[in-house]
Structure 1
């Protein structure tokens, strides 16, 4: 079946986002920094903002339990742009090759509705996608099948008679790629751009 469109995840594929970029400045000692990011401002805590929880509510929850870390907790979102260290050149180059070949591109990202506008304003490459589903805006989050169904419906509005097997989805998370595969898409676990490009070529894309 011909691939008619490619869907990109953003973090770890096109963007270098990592709390370490900020907290190396705030907590120089590696062990202490790891404990803070594993036990307080945890990935699961951050994921709830990606799923639609407000930053105000997120901070309130942590401050109630860890008032001694007030400044470090507030820094997570007050200085959030410092966690976004720019784009990942190999991933962007892959995107641009697909774009130049005329392949329709879409985005599906786990991202807070309150921080995504910063990326939208500062990274024009996002404007080149035909449509982007942002988890925090929809209050749905990968790997929930509902968010994939939502994007599929929006792509199908552009590409009549679209079939699930005509979509390739690139994500740096294995479970998110697997969730797409379970729905009939071609989920690709992104480890590096060369490997992802090879898998797209195996699916018949010429770019």
Structure 2
């Protein structure tokens, strides 16, 4: 196992909660209709293109051309985005800050629209603490594309084999490994602590 000198955190579902259902439980109370809307209109794949850099205006126009009767709910996705990121995972943030306090080099790599990330940064001050961040929507690349891992490594002078990546998505973990990084899937703070210990990385408590 290679010595780890760099640690890279994903953000959504690792450090902060993200769930589009939160506002839509109120906006579309009927569970079946809500499921249909999120699986067929404002889908994960549609939202991912904003993470790649597409503007919300373009994204909404695309859906309105196909689903004009859903205008209110389509526009609600961005309007109520702040409700979707309801809270930070305090135990994960504690690990992040403990690694920083112990002197480790920590950066972040996230699939995030540029404007919503700017909003998240204001709400969650700990996002300012690592050495830096690569935001997919700012550079037009998304995980798990190999290019975004190569971009991040170059931007922050990381040696891939000495870099540990932490992400909740199995596809993103696999993408990091294909780029030559070490990587673990985030399933919870306790498992992450065990993974870090396995790599000889113990955050200060």
Q: Same fold (TM over 0.5)?
A: yes
Distance (Å, rounded) in 2 between the aligned partners of 1:194 and 1:164: 25
Partner of 1:51: 52
Q: Classify the secondary structure of the residue corresponding to 1:176.
A: helix
Partner of 1:109: 110
C-alpha displacement of 1:121:
1.5
* Cα deviations by residue, 1:5-40 (Å, 9 ceiling, x for unpaired): 110000010010111111011011211111110110
Count of aligned residue pairs for this structure pair: 202
- Counterparts in 2 of 1:1-207, with a 5 A limit? 1-156=2-157, 162-207=158-203
TM-score (normalizing by structure 1): 0.94
Distance (Å, rounded) in 2 between the aligned partners of 1:194 and 1:101: 18
Structure 1 moving runs of 4+ over 2 Å: none
Distance (Å, rounded) in 2 between the aligned partners of 1:4 and 1:60: 45
C-alpha displacement of 1:194:
1.0
Question: What 5-or-longer segments of structure 2 have no aligned partner?
Answer: none
Question: What 5-or-longer segments of structure 1 have no aligned partner?
Answer: 157-161
C-alpha displacement of 1:163:
2.6
Distance (Å, rounded) in 2 between the aligned partners of 1:24 and 1:129: 34
C-alpha displacement of 1:206:
2.8
C-alpha displacement of 1:80:
1.2
Partner of 1:159: none
Q: Classify the secondary structure of the residue corresponding to 1:115.
A: helix
* Cα deviations by residue, 1:127-160 (Å, 9 ceiling, x for unpaired): 101110000000000001111011101221xxxx
Distance (Å, rounded) in 2 between the aligned partners of 1:21 and 1:206: 35
Distance (Å, rounded) in 2 between the aligned partners of 1:143 and 1:189: 13
* Cα deviations by residue, 1:104-133 (Å, 9 ceiling, x for unpaired): 110100000121110111211111011100
RMSD (Å), alpha carbons? 1.0
Q: Classify the secondary structure of the residue corresponding to 2:115.
A: coil
TM-score (normalizing by structure 2): 0.95
Distance (Å, rounded) in 1 between the aligned partners of 2:177 and 2:195: 14
Q: Which moved more, 1:174-183 or 1:54-63?
A: 174-183
1:55·1:114 contact (CA, 8 Å) conserved in 2? Answer: no
